[in-house]
A and B are shown apart, each in its own frame.
Chain A
Amino acid sequence: MRAFAALFQRDLLVALRRPTDAANPLVFFVLAVLLLGVGAASAEKGLGGSAAGAVWVLALFANLLAVEGVFRRDVEDGTLEQLLIHARPRFAAVLGKLAANWSCAGLPVLVLSPLAVYVLGHSTAGAGMVMLTLLLGTPTLTLLGAIGAALTAGTGRGGLLLAVLVMPFYLPVLIFGAGASTAAGAGGDAAFELLVLGALLTGSITAAPFAVGKALAISQEY
């Protein structure tokens, strides 16, 4: 618990001291919503029923952008090596880092998502469900993406490589998140999708930190 709290606090502090870096995913999300509205939405109806799904896709990309950098500076300045030596238990430290990362990226996107649904779809139908599914889904994305980020840490090549590596693992989350949001927007029931999203989150909280720790150890040779 102490490792979790220490890393969570430290990474939040680092993010606060470099607010422009930390705001990158959010800025990306806003820009992408703007471009999608200008490029793909019709003036009267916006994107119609696909707005919720579109917001989910954009949130996924914003999350990927955030998780890509989760270990980068720590690799560069050697903090990561110190962490691998000192932080016990390792999975708690990893969870702390990821929780801080999600708080800086997933959380603000989550807060803005109803607005994005409204702007793109001209209706708030399904906006609540988008928030709820993002709350359940984006932490899973952060946890899974961190495995890829850890594998590529120190290669100096994140970006597209990371996207290719983690996209297969993001798909189920996207399918259920966007599926539930679209169903709720059309007035349907989404209890099943919510249960699955919850199950995926529980599973990845349990397993992903260990995989991340292992992957970091591989990339730093411990």
Chain B
Amino acid sequence: MGLVDWAKGAFHKTGSPRWFFLGSRRWMVGLYAAGIALIVVGSTIGLGFVPPERFQGDSFRILFVHVPAVHLAQAIYVAVAVAGLVYLVWRMKMADMVIEAAAPVGMAVTAAGLATGVVWGMPTWGTGWVWDARIISTLVLLLLFFGLLALRQAIPRPDRAAMAVSLLAVVGVVNLPIIKYSVEWFTTLHQPASLTLGERPTIAPVFLVPLALNALGYYCLAAGIVIAALRMKIIERESGTSWVADWLAGHEDRVGG
């Protein structure tokens, strides 16, 4: 029972913008620090100390940026969709703000994943772009993130925009695996050559350590950025409430007021 009560309490507290704003600063700072440290260490090992790959030479080192970016992009979309579901079911304002804060981050990470993929593909595949399953689904992910942002901008009323965006986020997450498998079946049936291009050799443990460090660092840094954006949204949307006025009164030196 203790655990259930604790979970309920955490759920309600996190759902309160005030509680989240006042309590989240440490988390933001900690995640920023952890993310930057992990990325610095991981990238140093990956770029400086890991031996070159047998077939790709040094060009494979972009792996330590590319793979974490693409994984993170998918994870952010799933998080956004969960937030969308939470909003649709419980109408929690925080869930909507999470979508608004995370979608631009997700879009940037997806774009970074695509761009590094193109850069990596040129020396190794001989072409920057192949219409294979992963590339198409990542491109679609970018479109979905953009759609979330564009839809919110198009609807002037915030509560209505929140409903529409949440609905789109939830419907979109169903679509992602469908696209992935449809392109995979399609390419397997008709152009088996492009699939072997997308396959990587199994990763050796020596590459796995910096990859894991970087991936973890990316997750931490993204979480920190999302929390920072979320704090901005909270102050913006709750600007009429008394607790924001109280907080601002205590921080006039920092906000330049």
Binding site for B on A (CB under 8 A): 147, 151-152, 155, 157, 161, 164-165, 167-169, 171-172, 175-176, 179, 182-183, 192, 196, 211, 214-215, 218-219, 221
Contact = CB atoms under 8 A, between A and B. Distances in A.
Interface string B231-246: 0000000000000000
A161 B149 CA distance: 10
Interface residues of B, number: 27
Main secondary structure of the interface of A (DSSP, over half): helix
Given A151-B151, A155-B155, A219-B164, A168 B186 contact: no
A100 to B, nearest CB: 24
B143 A164 contact: yes
Contacts of B185: 192, 196
A161 B154 contact: yes
Interface in B123-156: 136, 140, 143-144, 146-147, 150-151, 154-156
Given A171-B182, A219-B164, 17 more contacts: A151-B168, A152-B151, A164-B146, A165-B147, A168-B140, A168-B144, A169-B171, A169-B175, A171-B179, A172-B175, A183-B189, A196-B185, A215-B164, A218-B160, A218-B163, A218-B167, A219-B160
Nearest to B144: A168
B136 A171 contact: yes
B190 interface: yes
Nearest to A218: B163
Contacts of A215: 164, 167
Main secondary structure of the interface of B (DSSP, over half): helix
A60 to B, nearest CB: 15
30 contacts: A151-B151, A151-B164, A151-B168, A152-B151, A155-B154, A155-B156, A157-B154, A161-B154, A164-B146, A164-B150, A165-B147, A165-B168, A168-B179, A169-B175, A172-B178, A172-B182, A175-B182, A175-B183, A175-B186, A176-B182, A179-B189, A179-B190, A192-B185, A192-B189, A211-B167, A215-B167, A218-B167, A219-B160, A219-B164, A221-B160
B139 to A, nearest CB: 9
Q: Which one of A155, A165, A175 has the highest number of Cβ atoms from chain B below 10 Å of its Cβ?
A: A165
